[in-house]
Amino acid sequence: MRINIYGMNGMPTVEATLTLTRITSVTITDDTISVDLEDGRTVSVPIGWYPRLAHGTSTERINFQIAGGGYGIHWPDLDEDIGIEGLLFGKKSTESPASFERWLKQREDGKTRLRQVSPQ
């Protein structure tokens, strides 16, 4: 990926080429996601950047798959996907507040239904 940032005179002032590298392992704590990359780097970001992960249980958080040929992480229980590009650029979740609220409501409704069906 090539990034050009142009100055006021229209000439590039910064040029960078980003070569994506694959994820080799993922470590998740209560407050951090750390990703080891095949080029030797480790990238860590706050779990709070991804509200679905922040609201997930530790069991849901550790149920992930390195996906997309090693360029992403998928959490099936939380319907969350994070790509290496976003981690390298420090991008937080772009999910809208309305979408997140719907997800939280569906999640709570599902737990309520389970409690009603489960034998007491």
Taking only the tens place, the pLDDT of each residue in 47-70 is: 999 999 999 999 999 999 999 999
Name the one residue in this structure whose structure tokens are 């976003």.
86
Q: 13-17, 29-33, 44-48 — which is least confidently predicted?
A: 13-17
Q: Per the structure block, which two tokens stand in for 93?
A: 């979740």
Strand partners of residue 74: 65, 81
Give the up-direction half-sphere exposure of residue 71: CA atoms within 13 A in the CB hemisphere. Answer: 7
Q: Residue 29's pLDDT band (boundaries 50, 70, 90)?
A: very high
Q: What is the Cα–Cα distance from 93 to 89, expressed in whole angstroms?
A: 12
CB count in 10 Å sphere of residue 66: 17
Q: Which residues of 44-58 are buried (b: 16+ CB within 10 A; e: fewer)?
A: ebebebbbbbeebee
Identity of residue 66? I
The span from the CA of 94 to the CA of 30, in Å, is 21
Which residues make beta-bridge pairs with 100?
none
- Domain 22-93 class in CATH: alpha beta
pTM here is 0.77
Q: Is the pLDDT of residue 108 over 90?
A: no
Question: Could you identify the residue written with the tokens 């706050």?
Answer: 46
